[in-house]
Structure 1
Amino acid sequence: MVFLFSLLVVEYLALVQVLRAPSLIRSEALPPRVAWVTAASMMFGAMLASMPLLLEFSQAARMENGESISLTSNSYLDLALLGIGGLLAIGSFGYRIYFQRRKPAAGFWSVGANAMGLLVGTYFVFVVADQLAFFAPPRDDAGVVSWGYFSSLGTVKDVQCDRDVLIVKGINSGLATYRCPRGIVLARFSSMPIAPWPAYSEGESAQLAAAVKKLHAEAVKQ
């Protein structure tokens, strides 16, 4: 919910700033160049940050129509889109705040809106850093596991999760580290799925690692 709410906030703020740009220029609250460049950066940043969610919806629609989905080895595209979007939000909203320091007449709501945009951009960058830290270093034994399937086997008892999927790493080490998402999962068809902070719980499971390795071994034999 935090991630989706943040997307809605930054999109709303960006749209409002684009629509307000002409009036800000006429009132000389902002120079034309500052007004349009920062407004465009806000809108572009909001669009980039929304792309991982739109790509997830697109892939779900394709699967529903019977189309095949390629399982990519990495998911840096989604992280890059979200990270660049966050950096643009930090830069554009942050510069507006810096510029407003030189304009004592800047209104409370205007400063507050820019501060909110700055916080949302920082949150997006933190989500990217959190995901990169979880999957570092890059590995082959990471991705999404069907927890619904493994929980039905009854052999994995050291995982606490009530969702159908788990984000897992470290299968080959014998002790899998997992995240149980409590919200939306982005880039789920990759080896680096994204469960945006704080909507997940984390734990470790040797039984899950053994069960996944056993399933892989049986699949290879067939």
Structure 2
Amino acid sequence: MIFIFSIWILLAGLVVAGRPAQPRWQRTGALALAFLLSLTFLQTMGLFGPNAVAGDTTNYSPALIFALGVMVLAFFSAVLIAQRPPTPPSHVQIGSAVFAAVVGAYLMFVAVDHWWFFRGDDELNGWASPSAMGVKEVDCDFALARIEGDAIAYRCAHLFIFGRAYAHPFVPWPSYTPGTSIELKLKQDELMREAESNARAARSAESGGQP
């Protein structure tokens, strides 16, 4: 919920910064950021992606969100600097710019948080469905997952899962419950062994039982 609320705060800040009474550079910057925000939102909602996403397809939503955060923070920092004397201060503009700058920092943080969780070998990262796998100690239907030795670090998504079809879906902080599960790792290993066994049986059947 904080992620969506922050987007509304950013939109309000852009509306204030883009009013006709503001300097031209400010109106132009607000319009450019509104355009980038629209592209980021559409990408995050999957409207630019194909209907079927390959397992190794890159999810560009975190990169766009990070770039948006950098530009938002830089733009509204410039807006705040422009409010220094002798310019008559506008309390509405100062307040909206401060909140929007905080949103910019937040967007950068959630992108870095995503990359930090999915760090390392891509083969050790992904997502899982603990409830479908019959895992008792992880109570959720969808979780980001990263193998850590004999356990799996997970993040159970609450409300928002952006790019669910990608190998690395985006779940913004704090819309998840983190944890570590040995049982989830054991269940995953069991499913992998079963899949390998079925694959060997299928190959054997195709070859007429020949090794």
Under TM normalisation by the shorter chain, which class is it?
Answer: 0.7 to 0.9
Shift of 1:40: 2.7
Shift of 1:167: 0.9
Structure 1 residue runs of 5 or longer lacking an equivalent are 25-29, 63-67
Shift of 1:37: 3.4
Contact between 1:52 and 1:82, CA under 8 Å: does it hold in 2?
no
1:167 aligns with 2:167: no
Higher alpha-carbon Rg: 2
Shift of 1:195: 1.4
Identity level (%): 23
Shift of 1:16: 4.1
Amino acid at match of 1:126: F
Amino acid at match of 2:11: E
Amino acid at match of 2:127: V
Contact between 1:82 and 1:128, CA under 8 Å: does it hold in 2?
yes
Aligned twin of 1:36: 27
Distance 1:96 1:45, change over 3 A: farther
Distance 1:41 1:87, change over 3 A: farther
Separation (CA, whole Å) in 2 of partners of 1:69 and 1:219: 22
Aligned twin of 1:46: 37
Separation (CA, whole Å) in 2 of partners of 1:99 and 1:116: 16
Aligned twin of 1:128: 111
Shift of 1:70: 1.6
Shift of 1:41: 3.5
Q: 1:86 aligns with which of 69, 80, 93?
A: 69
Shift of 1:215: 0.9
1:216 aligns with 2:192: yes
When normalised by structure 2's length, the TM-score is 0.83
Higher helix content, 1 or 2: 1
Contact between 1:38 and 1:92, CA under 8 Å: does it hold in 2?
yes
1:197 aligns with 2:180: no
Summarize the alignment of residues 72-111 of structure 1 with structure 2, pairs less than 5 Å apart. Answer: 72-73=55-56, 75-111=58-94
Distance 1:158 1:54, change over 3 A: closer
Structure 2 residue runs of 5 or longer lacking an equivalent are 199-211
SS of match in other structure, 1:170: strand
Deviates more, 1:103-112 or 1:117-126: 103-112
SS of match in other structure, 2:144: strand
Separation (CA, whole Å) in 2 of partners of 1:79 and 1:113: 24
Q: Give RMSD over aligned pairs.
A: 2.2
